[in-house]
Amino acid sequence: MPSVRLALALAVAAQGAFACGGDDHSHARRAYPSTKLRPPTRPLEWGDFNVMHTTDTHGWLLGHQKESWPEPNYSGDLGDFASFVAHMKKIAEEKDVDLLLVDSGDLHDGTGISDGFPAGGVDAHDSNEFLKQIPYDIMAIGNHELYIYENTLDMYNNFAPDLNGRYLSSNVNITVFGENNETINVPVGERFAKFTTRKGRRVTSFGVLFDFTGNDDNTTVQTVADMVKEDWFVDAIQEEPDVFLLVGHMPVREDNWPLVFDAIRTVHPTTPILIFGGHTHIRDCVQLDGRSMALESGRYMETLGWMSANLNDRHKKNITFSRRYLDPNRVTYQFHTLTSNHTFDTEEGANITQGLLDLAEQYDLDYLYGTAPMDYTIDRVPYPSNNSLLSLFVSEATPLVLSANNTANSTRPALFLTNSGSQRFDLYKGPFTKNDQLTASPFVDAWLYMPEVEYGVAKQVLDIINADGSNNRRRSMDDQAWERASFGLGRDTSVDKRYRAWLRDMEARAHAEQDRDMRRDADHHHHHHHHDELSIGYVTYDSCPGVGDDTEHEPLESYTLPDFIQSNVTVNGTAFDGIADETLVDFVFVDFIDDQIVETLNSIVGEEQFSVNDLTSYSPVLTNELLGFYAQMAWN
């Protein structure tokens, strides 16, 4: 592969600032994509008040490192981002305008750099040290800061204090010990912040979380409806600032931003309101009136949001806004800062990149299990199919690994069933490492089995529970316990579903637009072969004026997925055809759906024949280790 090696050599040469030690080639690959990236379509529109926005970064601080599309679009790491911010701040000073930087939460759960900590550590504690080096003006809490009390406590003790009153949790509290060892219930960060920008604008800011109920014990989330009635909130909005800056982990449509917006509008009918949302992992923008804009900027460092406003035109009824969704990579960053590969990196940026690479080494994230022969994606191909990660997981990996590590000592045929939400991120061709395992398949479930189920009974379960979907929750649990069990540690099934539905909607709209273009071209005898060169990536249609995407792409495909997935009957890990209905099989599934499976089996036979007490462990292998074992067995 001479072309890749040549690109690496050029990239290393371009990284003049780095000593060429043993591992620097990996840095060069990360810092400068060897894949050719399309530059943005046009410069940014600056106003006199400008904001850059990140949200739902979920540990993706080393950037997306795979060669398969669309990953190179998002290949910028946090060090590249730091350099970009520094250049943008300089441009803002030259233009003599304000430039702020905000984040809407979810710093935990997503990659090895956040989740790969050694035993005894705390999730994202080490990686958050690098986020603290980015000059954020406001950061808000997300629901992933609240699944595990130790994580929330770490944010309270070790993160919020370093943001000097700018880490906001308007409706989120933590219970801690006070001075005299009494328990006190206090905000994780601050309820609000008031500050003055470099250009002398007075800003009032809040950090609001949606009505989340899956939080851990000793944390509290107040509903947004109740929050806006609180005395502290009413007091905080009395004084009129130049602009309200609302940052929070809440989607910008079909959620509770209007409650906060209306509460402010009642007191201040025309004050500019800028809203930065998150949580559903999509690119989206809405305007609740002509003097406000609400922006949501995607997920996983795949999008950097930009908003500008002209606040100086006070006499105008409507404020002139712009918004843009940037692909975070060095081509994007250099285009907008008029820098080259030689002039782009700042010392701070280079140090952040190196620090993250050192942390990755400390966590042994490059540990290689095997080499994936092709891309396996969750929803970009139909399930079941050859390139489906869900097919790979339940039909190939699970039977092979569990039969090789089978403590059930059973020789019966087996049927394996799990939830489709068991996989969080696509698995791409090339090295499959510890980092990839943590990223693709993080959820920790044990495999149980019901011995000696007639195949004719077992084979009916899948369709029934897929028809019930997640409504068939464990009857013995309250809502909070259910959310913690099924979405715990980030099994945000509802987020994934909304994200995928959005992708399908964007794809449909993009194709409708292409059809219109083709019909128009046929009428005028024009022929565009323009789309041939586009890589796949985000294509966004939202409710704000103009085109939002910074770089043109062909839309990503997204297929609908069932809630639950199942292997064929297998014997010693290999698919087995033509099995009779009366054959007894071992019915193997993940522990967190045990009640649901047992209830369903009993409903099929029409009596209480099966009990949760009949279930035993099938294998000591947990779901989050399974792909690593598979790669060692099948991809070496």
**In the predicted structure, residue 145 carries a pLDDT above the cut 90:** yes
Model confidence at 472: pLDDT above 60? no
C-alpha torsion angle, residues 257, 259, 260, 265 (rounded to 10): 120
Average pLDDT over residues 105-132: 97
Q: Cis (ω within 30 of 0) for the bond into 70?
A: yes
pLDDT per position as a tens digit, 44-78: 999 999 999 999 999 999 999 999 999 999 999 99
Please give the share of the chain, as a percent, with pLDDT higher than 90: 84
pLDDT at 321 > cutoff 60:
yes
Instruction: Quickly list H helices, 340-492.
Output: 347-362, 389-391, 398-404, 434-440, 455-458, 461-468, 479-487
When pLDDT is averaged across residues 596-611 and rounded to a whole number, the result is 97
Answering whether pTM is above 0.75, one says: yes
**Nearest-5° angle of CA 7, CA 10, CA 13?**
150
Mean pLDDT, to the nearest integer, of 525-549? 83
The arithmetic mean of pLDDT across residues 540-566, rounded, is 97
pLDDT of residue 1: 39
CA distance 601 to 428: 37
**Cα gap 323→325, rounded to integer Å:** 7
Q: What is the pLDDT of residue 14?
A: 37
Percent of the chain surpassing pLDDT 70: 90
Mean pLDDT, residues 154-167 taken together:
98
pLDDT of residue 469: 62
Average pLDDT over residues 612-635: 97
According to the model, what pLDDT value does residue 530 have?
A: 54
Question: Residues 294-308: pLDDT tens digits?
Answer: 999 999 999 999 999
Task: Specify the pLDDT at position 7.
Answer: 39
What residues does 617 pair with on adjacent strands? 448
Three-class SS of residue 225? Answer: helix
pLDDT of 577? 85
- The C-alpha atoms of residue 135 and residue 101 are separated, in whole angstroms, by 7
Cα(307)–Cα(614) distance, rounded to whole angstroms?
A: 58
**Is pLDDT of 416 > 70?**
yes
Per-residue pLDDT band at 11 (split at 50, 70, 90) = very low
**pLDDT above 50 for 454:** yes
**4: pLDDT confidence band, cut at 50, 70 and 90?**
very low
Question: Would you state the pLDDT for residue 468?
Answer: 83
CB 277 within 8 A of CB 251: yes
Are 507 and 557 contacting, i.e. CB atoms less than 8 angstroms apart? yes
pLDDT tens digits, residue range 569-602? Answer: 999 888 888 899 999 999 999 998 999 999 999 9
Question: Residue 132: pLDDT above 60?
Answer: yes
Confidence of residue 393 (pLDDT cuts 50, 70, 90): very high
Model pLDDT, residue 24:
38
> Is residue 159 packed enough to be buried (19+ CB in 10 Å), middle (13-18) or exposed (0-12)?
buried
Distance from C-alpha of 587 to C-alpha of 448, rounded to nearest angstrom: 8
Yes or no: say if 102 and 136 are a contact pair by the CB < 8 Å rule.
yes
pLDDT, tens only, 242-269: 999 999 999 999 999 999 999 999 999 9
Domains (ranges, CATH) in the chain? 33-362 (3.60.21.10), 368-492+560-634 (3.90.780.10)
Q: Specify the higher pLDDT residue, 130 or 312.
A: 130
pLDDT for the residue 409:
85
Residue range 525-538: mean pLDDT, rounded = 72
Which pLDDT does position 213 carry in this prediction? 93
pLDDT at 19: 33
pLDDT score of 525: 66
Q: CA nearest 124: which of 154, 162, 166, 82? A: 154
Mean pLDDT of 219-237: 98
Exposure string over 596-611, b if 16+ CB within 10 A, otherwise e: bbbbbbeebeeeeebe
Residue 362 burial (CB count, 10 A): 12
pLDDT (average), residues 309-329? 94
pLDDT of amino acid 526: 57
Hey, what are 577's tokens? Answer: 């055809």
Average of pLDDT values for 67-95?
Answer: 98
pLDDT tier for residue 470 given thresholds of 50, 70 and 90: low
Q: pLDDT band for 481, please (50, 70, 90 cuts).
A: low
The predicted structure's pLDDT at residue 524 = 77
312, HSE (Cβ side, Cα atoms, 13 Å)? 11
Alpha helix stretches (DSSP H) within 363-492: 389-391, 398-404, 434-440, 455-458, 461-468, 479-487
- Residue 588 tokens read as 């193997």
Both ends of the chain: CA-CA distance in Å?
20
Q: Count Cβ atoms below 10 Å from residue 11 Cβ, excluding itself.
A: 20
Question: Using CA atoms, how far apart are residues 21 and 64, in angstroms rounded to an integer?
Answer: 23
> Mean pLDDT of all residues in the chain?
91
The average pLDDT across 366-388 equals 98
Q: Coil, strand or helix: which one is 524?
A: helix
Query: Mean pLDDT throughout 325-331?
Result: 98
Alpha helices (runs of H) in 32-172, residue ranges in sequence order: 78-95, 112-115, 125-131, 149-154
